[in-house]
């Protein structure tokens, strides 16, 4: 052990109350940071999860045909009849190739080819317009977790079985085993059997979405072997734009939509939330740093005689400053450790009292606790710089002379 | 007997930048190895200033300082710190022990400074020295748990731990009662006899100064007698 460290430790030990208060100050600062950071991160994660957790993050569709393109790109001055607009989404015929090409991408956690179309559902004299989604159950399950969210019936969509939402089931007074008629835009009426009822925790989805087998949907909408879209989820949703760009250049003639583009408002809300959190964290660190700095500055004055005698006995300037830098470092490390425990405790207590209302689960990451601790330790060491310099420049004669 | 240990030539020390006060006015001094000398004079006569210059705690405004023939008034701060640590032992009026440490640790601190790390290499020597100053049974006492006289004796042991060539003492008995004063002087003489290092003691007490081999008397920044 260097003798500077030994002296630093003794100085800290001798000023017990002072050390305790400064430690508490750092600890509270660190705890607030951990609490606030974890709270904001968890809140954002849950918000993002609610928004896109059970939906397609990246959707690949066929490029628009000429008529649609003109209609969407040109303004109202274009005199084209709305009747020219295709009622069906254009089919993606080479989709198996695309799926094969994307299969190798490690970012992808779910890839699900779908057919989307509209129809009218009819039961016991009541009509309601619905969104039909033809899926391969096992792939779509990775995105929508249909199997897990089934309230009634079985997760089966073979043959003429379909799955409907809870709201639709209520509205039409139908349930598992009911027979319903679907009226397609082309005027065809087909009978289906309700295999199960799901609850995707979204009112409008529960009211209008109907799942059926992909092949059955291809037949219903007369798409041959084509599909209308490929829905994809990736491991880090915030990478969606990058992945979409990559695939656009790889696949060429397709349309790729991703959630970030469609949720600009949410993203900017998240960003401003983050920056306000960072601002608070910055000022907490600043306050802690100033606190440490002033306490250590007082300590230099208190210990000036001791430093003077050490210098008279041959301590160098470097050693004299190191004694105070080490004190800052030790305070930072100990304060961060105590603060981490305090922060985790605070989170658990918060969790305990907020168990009932809302289902927000606050997660803390060890990596972010480590980073916060390291920043606090660095700040504490930085705070000791000025006191350390004063200690280094202390004139031993002046310090000793005054008795 | 003419082994010159430390020598100052034409030493001038001025304080202040605007109004200059001359604390030392062209002082020449030399001290032989193993000599036991004292400096007396009224307060403000420059005796402490001279001691600080000889101990490399301060630099002269003009003049040269030599230690065993080698000039040290032009050394850098790091070299001076090392010089103080190895060659000089300091004893101050207000003992200045570190209250956070025990008597033994206080004695060991200069040896820690010398090696840079806390070690027990000189532990035996430190205990020996504490025995010499009569504090063998107090070695693990916290230093602020000792009486004034005891503290001063710990600081004498501390001054000796690195086997210096010269011990500088600034009013070492300034705040001790007459009995402790007597004991401390007997002790310093004994160490001088047994260990052979030179002593230079600043005092304003002529009675005490008369016990040394040589008395240097100062007045107004000059040496007025040296016997």
DSSP string of A270-305? HHHHHHHHHHHHHHHHHHHHHHHHHHHHHHHHHTHH
Q: In this predicted structure, what is the pLDDT of residue B1?
A: 45
**Cβ–Cβ pairs < 8 A, chains A and B:** 75
Q: What is the mean pLDDT of chain B?
A: 86
Take residue A322 and report the two structure tokens written for it: 């190191």
Helical packing angle, A385-392 and A264-302, nearest 10°: 20
Q: In this predicted structure, what is the pLDDT of residue B109?
A: 92
**Looking at the predicted structure, is the pLDDT value of residue A326 above 90?**
yes
Candidates B84, B109, B117; nearest CB to A2: B117
CB–CB of B52 and A315 under 8 A? no
Average pLDDT for A212-234: 89
Would you call A314 an interface residue with chain B, using a CB distance cutoff of 8 Å?
yes
Residue in chain B nearest A303 by alpha carbon: B98
Q: How far apart are the first and last CA of chain B?
A: 16
Residues A170-204 have pLDDT tens digits of 888 888 888 898 988 888 888 999 999 998 888 88
Q: In this predicted structure, what is the pLDDT of residue A57?
A: 87
- Is B72 within a domain? no
Nearest Cα of chain A lies from the Cα of B110 at a distance, in angstroms, of 6
Candidates A2, A11, A311; nearest CB to B116: A2
**Looking at the predicted structure, is the pLDDT value of residue A87 above 80?**
no
Would you call A2 an interface residue with chain B, using a CB distance cutoff of 8 Å?
yes
**H or E element that contains A374:** helix A366-383
Would you call B172 an interface residue with chain A, using a CB distance cutoff of 8 Å?
no
CB–CB of A313 and B110 under 8 A? yes
- Is B134 within a domain? yes
Which residues, 6+ apart, have CB-to-CB distance to A20 below 8 Å? none
Residues B81-109 have pLDDT tens digits of 999 999 999 888 776 789 899 999 999 99
- Is B177 within a domain? yes
Q: In this predicted structure, what is the pLDDT of residue A69?
A: 58
Confidence of residue A83 (pLDDT cuts 50, 70, 90): low
CB–CB of B85 and A314 under 8 A? yes
**ipTM of the complex, rounded to two decimals:** 0.89
Residue in chain B nearest A318 by alpha carbon: B78
Quote the domain boundaries for residue B106.
35-48+84-226
Burial B59-97 (b: 16+ CB within 10 A, else e): bbeebebbbeeeebbebeeeebbbbbbebbbbbbbbbbb
Sole residue written with tokens 């989404």: A89
How many structural domains compose chain B? 1
Do residues B101 and B143 lie in contact, with contact meaning Cβ atoms separated by under 8 Å?
yes
Q: In this predicted structure, what is the pLDDT of residue A294?
A: 87
Task: Say which residue, A397 or B216, is predicted with more confidence.
Answer: B216
Residues A289-308 have pLDDT tens digits of 888 888 888 888 888 888 88
Candidates A3, A312, A403; nearest CB to B84: A312
Every domain of chain A and the residues it spans: 3-49+267-401, 94-252
Q: In this predicted structure, what is the pLDDT of residue A64?
A: 65
Average pLDDT for B56-75: 86
Angle at Cα A277 formed by Cα A273 and Cα A280, nearest 5°? 140
**Looking at the predicted structure, is the pLDDT value of residue A223 above 50?**
yes
Q: What is the pTM of this model?
A: 0.76
Task: Say which residue, B131 or A81, is predicted with more confidence.
Answer: B131
Candidates A11, A13, A316; nearest CB to B81: A316
**Looking at the predicted structure, is the pLDDT value of residue B120 above 70?**
yes
Q: DSSP strand E in A90-136: where?
A: 108-123, 126-135
Residue in chain A nearest B119 by alpha carbon: A1
Alpha-carbon span A105 to B19, nearest angstrom: 81
Alpha-carbon span A202 to A206, nearest angstrom: 6
CATH number, position B101: 3.40.50.300
Residues A351-387 have pLDDT tens digits of 888 776 566 778 888 888 999 999 989 998 998 998 8
Phi and psi (nearest 5°) for A304? -60, -35
Residues A121-139 have pLDDT tens digits of 988 788 889 999 999 988 8
Is the C-alpha dihedral spanning A26, A32, A33, A38 positive or negative?
A: positive
Alpha-carbon span A33 to A342, nearest angstrom: 11
Q: Are strands B166-170 and B198-203 parallel, antiparallel or unpaired?
A: parallel
Residue in chain A nearest B84 by alpha carbon: A314
**Looking at the predicted structure, is the pLDDT value of residue A76 above 60?**
no
Candidates A302, A309, A311, A313, partner chain B, best to mutate (most B CBs within 10 A)? A313
Q: What is the mean pLDDT of chain A?
A: 85
Residues A109-123 have pLDDT tens digits of 889 999 988 999 988
- CA-nearest of A381, A386, A301 to A335 is A381
Residues B168-201 have pLDDT tens digits of 988 887 777 788 788 888 888 888 888 889 999 9
Q: In this predicted structure, what is the pLDDT of residue B113?
A: 92
Q: Which residues of A touch B57 (CB under 8 A)?
A: 312, 396-397
- CA-nearest of A175, A205, A166 to A193 is A175
Confidence of residue A403 (pLDDT cuts 50, 70, 90): very low
Do residues B85 and B162 lie in contact, with contact meaning Cβ atoms separated by under 8 Å?
yes
**3-state class percentages of chain A: helix first, strand second, coil last, to nearest 5:** 60, 20, 25
Average pLDDT for B20-45: 86
Candidates B94, B109, B118; nearest CB to A313: B109
Confidence of residue B10 (pLDDT cuts 50, 70, 90): confident
């Amino acid at each position: 052990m260097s003798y500077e460290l030994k002296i630093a430790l003794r100085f800290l030990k001798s000023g017990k109350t002072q050390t305790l208060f400064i430690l508490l100050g750092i600890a509270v600062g660190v705890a607030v940071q951990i609490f606030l950071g974890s709270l904001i991160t968890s809140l954002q994660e849950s918000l993002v999860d609610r928004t896109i957790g059970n939906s397609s993050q990246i959707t690949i569709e066929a490029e628009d045909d000429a008529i649609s393109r003109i209609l969407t790109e040109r303004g109202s001055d274009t005199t084209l009849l709305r009747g020219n607009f295709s009622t069906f989404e254009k089919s993606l015929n080479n989709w198996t190739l695309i799926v094969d090409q994307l299969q190798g991408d490690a970012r992808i956690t779910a890839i699900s080819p779908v057919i989307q179309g509209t129809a009218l559902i009819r039961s016991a004299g009541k009509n309601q317009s619905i969104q039909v989604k033809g899926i391969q159950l096992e792939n779509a399950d990775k995105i929508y977790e249909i199997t897990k969210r089934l309230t009634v019936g079985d997760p089966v969509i073979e043959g003429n079985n379909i799955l409907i939402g809870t709201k639709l089931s209520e509205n039409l007074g139908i349930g598992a085993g009911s027979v319903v008629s679907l009226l397609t835009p082309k005027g065809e009426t087909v009978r289906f059997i309700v295999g199960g009822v799901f609850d995707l925790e979204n009112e409008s989805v529960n009211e209008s979405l109907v799942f059926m087998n992909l092949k059955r949907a291809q037949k219903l909408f007369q798409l041959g072997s084509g599909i209308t879209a490929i829905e994809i989820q990736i491991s880090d949703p915030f990478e969606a734009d990058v992945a979409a760009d990559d695939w656009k250049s790889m696949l060429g003639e397709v349309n790729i939509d991703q959630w970030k583009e469609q949720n600009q408002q949410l993203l900017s809300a998240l960003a401003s939330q983050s920056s306000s959190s960072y601002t608070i964290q910055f000022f907490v660190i600043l306050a802690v740093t100033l606190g440490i700095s002033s306490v250590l500055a007082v300590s230099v004055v208190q210990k000036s005689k001791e430093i003077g005698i050490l210098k008279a006995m041959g301590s160098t300037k470097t050693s004299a400053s190191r004694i105070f830098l080490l004190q800052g470092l030790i305070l930072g490390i100990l304060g961060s450790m105590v603060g981490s425990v305090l922060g985790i405790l605070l989170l658990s207590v918060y969790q305990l009292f907020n168990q009932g209302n809302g289902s927000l689960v606050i997660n803390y990451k060890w990596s972010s606790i480590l980073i916060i601790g390291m920043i606090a330790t660095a700040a504490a060491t930085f705070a000791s710089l000025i006191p350390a310099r004063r200690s280094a420049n202390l004139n031993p004669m002046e310090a000793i002379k005054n008795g | 007997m003419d082994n010159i240990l430390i020598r100052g030539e034409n030493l001038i020390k001025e304080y202040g930048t605007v109004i200059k006060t001359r604390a030392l006015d062209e002082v020449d001094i030399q001290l032989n190895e193993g000599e036991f000398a004292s400096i007396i004079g009224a307060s403000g006569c420059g005796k402490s200033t001279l001691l600080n210059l000889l101990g490399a705690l301060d630099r002269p405004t003009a003049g040269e300082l030599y230690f065993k023939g080698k000039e040290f008034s032009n050394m850098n701060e790091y070299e001076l710190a090392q010089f103080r640590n190895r060659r000089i032992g300091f004893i101050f009026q207000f003992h200045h022990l570190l209250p956070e440490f025990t008597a033994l640790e206080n004695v060991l601190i200069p040896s820690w400074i010398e090696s840079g790390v806390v070690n027990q290499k000189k532990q035996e020597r430190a205990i020996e020295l504490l025995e010499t100053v009569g504090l063998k049974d107090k070695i693990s006492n916290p230093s602020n748990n000792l009486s004034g006289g005891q503290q001063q004796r710990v600081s004498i042991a501390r001054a000796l731990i690195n086997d210096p060539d010269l011990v500088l003492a600034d009013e070492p008995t300034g705040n001790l009662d007459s009995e402790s004063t007597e004991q401390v002087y007997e002790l310093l003489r004994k160490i001088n006899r047994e260990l052979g290092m030179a002593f230079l003691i600043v005092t304003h007490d002529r009675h005490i100064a008369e016990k040394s081999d040589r008395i240097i008397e100062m007045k107004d920044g000059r040496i007025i007698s040296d016997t």
